[in-house]
Amino acid sequence: MMEHDEIKEILRAYAARPDVLDCTEDALRELRGHGDDLVPALLDALKDDPDEEVRLVVMRLLWEMGTDAELALPAMINSLKDRNRTIRIAAAGLAARSGEKAKAAVPILESWIGSDDKFSRVVAIGHILKIDPTSADELLPLLIDALELEGMAQLEAICQLECLGEMATDSVPALKRLLDNADSCVRLAASDAIHAITNDPVDSIKLGLRLLEADDWMDRYVACEHLGFLGAKAQSAVRRLRWAAIDDESEAVRNVAGEAFDKIEFGE
């Protein structure tokens, strides 16, 4: 019990930090030494701690722990009913990562589909598909329809389709239509999803090259990162990246273009 109390004090200390979103790895390194006591103590905090920030720290730690936290699945399913929306959404992702083992989560997630919260609806549909792929005939069309939403709900729909991979093949035509969206974040997310679903990087490369011609330096910066993530598949972009690394007016773009060039050419 003393061990659990010590872990909870560490959690509270991290939850109170202004950089709490950036210190998950630091917290996990500090807590790993508690061995087999760690996951039970985290679950106790998730269940009982009145501080929502502490419970959110627990969620981020469990996500970072991956398969080491499989014992947490029943608690994740229970957290789908938490009063805090962010915790509910985080719990859905953690539960869905267990695939078919998380079937008990499906009825709760199904209740979200009728919610007025568009983002939660999209999250629910995507995660049910991960848990129960046999629901694709019924639910995949709903996720494709969600591409017509705006803001974070639309981006989440794109992300969920990307995570589904080949299962989401029917979404490719709708995703291709988003390649001309006014929002560069939507365009990039759609191209990444198409690549993940089809394993064809052509659209991703074309979009990255197009964004390299943008007036906004941030668009050019993101384009370089985007092309770098493609690695050796983006060989056709090397010449343009080399030019950006030398001549772009933005130092930040020059630096990231050089990094992207190295990733593509040398795998660095």
Question: Any idea where the domains of the chain sit in the sequence?
Answer: 1-97
State how far the Cα of 146 lies from the Cα of 66, in Å rounded to an integer: 28
Q: What local confidence, expressed as pLDDT, does residue 117 receive? A: 96
CB-side neighbour CA atoms (13 Å) of 12: 11
| pLDDT band at 148; cut points 50, 70, 90 | very high
Each residue's pLDDT tens digit, 161-218: 999 999 999 999 999 999 999 999 999 999 999 999 999 999 999 999 999 999 999 9
Q: What local confidence, expressed as pLDDT, does residue 21 receive? A: 84
Q: Are 50 and 44 in contact (CB under 8 A)?
A: no
261 Cα distance to chain centroid: 25
Each residue's pLDDT tens digit, 24-63: 899 999 998 888 888 888 999 988 888 999 999 999 999 9
CB neighbour list of residue 115: distance below 8 Å, 6 or more residues apart: 121, 124
1, pLDDT greater than 60: no
Q: Are 208 and 226 in contact (CB under 8 A)?
A: yes
Read off the pTM: 0.86
Q: What local confidence, expressed as pLDDT, does residue 69 receive? A: 64
Q: What local confidence, expressed as pLDDT, does residue 68 receive? A: 65
Q: Are 132 and 126 in contact (CB under 8 A)?
A: no
Give the chain's radius of gyration (CA, Å). Answer: 21
State how far the Cα of 82 lies from the Cα of 58, in Å rounded to an integer: 14
Backbone phi and psi for residue 97, each to the nearest 5 degrees, phi listed first: -65, -20
70, pLDDT greater than 80: no
Average pLDDT over residues 243-267: 95
Q: What local confidence, expressed as pLDDT, does residue 267 receive? A: 79
| pLDDT band at 67; cut points 50, 70, 90 | low
Q: Are 118 and 157 in contact (CB under 8 A)?
A: no
Q: What local confidence, expressed as pLDDT, does residue 2 receive? A: 55
